[in-house]
A and B are shown apart, each in its own frame.
Chain A
Amino acid sequence: MSRNVSGQAYGLTVLTPILDGHLQELTEHLEALPEGPDSPLARVPGTHLARWVVIDQVKYQGHGQRHRDALSASRLLFTSNFDGPLDPYLQALRTGLAEDADAVWSHCRGYPGHHEGTAFASYLRAHALEAALFFAAYGGHTLEQVRSNLDERARLIEFALGAQGLGAADLKARFQEAFPA
């Protein structure tokens, strides 16, 4: 099994080289993206938590590290924790992000655009890294299940507060109304 998998959860790590001269524009674009439910990533089904991070350069650790390292090109890191498997998710990324995918990755070398599914998926696969260790606290639960469970829990708390002191017959009737079989 892939090291990127825990339960049904998949951890995708993609590092793409940023085109010369595009660092600032890409950074500004990412930082201006709408957040929360308006984030373009909200349109990609199965995405639990995801991020884009600009890695402008690797960091030097001081004299313990004898040589200074330098990337020839800054990198864009994309990580996503989503409902696997990978192939359908890459398609979901392409169709869900659509033009937003181009607005981000067109700043990266070799990006083919989102219109051609195979090329888009191949590009992300070619720049993906495998995790050495991937941890998912609730990797057995899909996004839909997580949201549904949270909703059920909230509804039950509300029900239990309102049902205090009810007789048995009323309690059963109200429960079955609120939570039909």
Chain B
Amino acid sequence: MSRLVKQWIPTLIATVTGLIVLAGYLFPGQLLVYYQGRITQWRDVLIEWAVIVAAFAFALGLLNILHVHGGRVVHARKGWFYSLVLLLAALAACVPPILYGPSGALTQQMLNYVIGPLGASLAGLLVFTLTLAAFRLLRVRRSVGAVLFVLIVAVVLLGSTPFVGLEWLADARDWIISVPGMAGGRGLLLGVALGTMITALRVLMGSDRPHSEF
């Protein structure tokens, strides 16, 4: 009984749900004309349910943050002050949407003048971390691949600058991006698509059961 509830029922639900959603996308309208409309309807309902479940997952995420950081503050563990700041900031961020709604002026101002600039500054930090990583690469791993990597990064970056006398680098940059870069990117995408399909089929066949107990 326990095995039925913990293994077979979740697997059956996952397989049937996956097959219905997949059929709703894959079977063309001309094929199975009668069933197509019905399958599409079921697919839409299931996707709607998934969105509702995802919304509940956000509540779980918030509880997890409270559990981890609240515990750290209460027990005064290492870094408790940062956790306290995080909890206070999270609490403050909840106030405008609750009082004025998600499209209220104060909520929008908070998004535009606090959360937006913070995200932009983090994105700005990436330039430094990536440059530092390239520097570390030359120091730690002196190989042909490493030198080529840094050389290509330098050409692409300098080719994007408007410096006089470096126009020829812009052509080299364009070639790198549109020929080897594009080819490599497409190769990656094809490989990832195959991996995605195999993983999804494993779940649909019940061979991989991340959602069941056994």
- Please determine whether chains A and B interact with each other in the same assembly: no
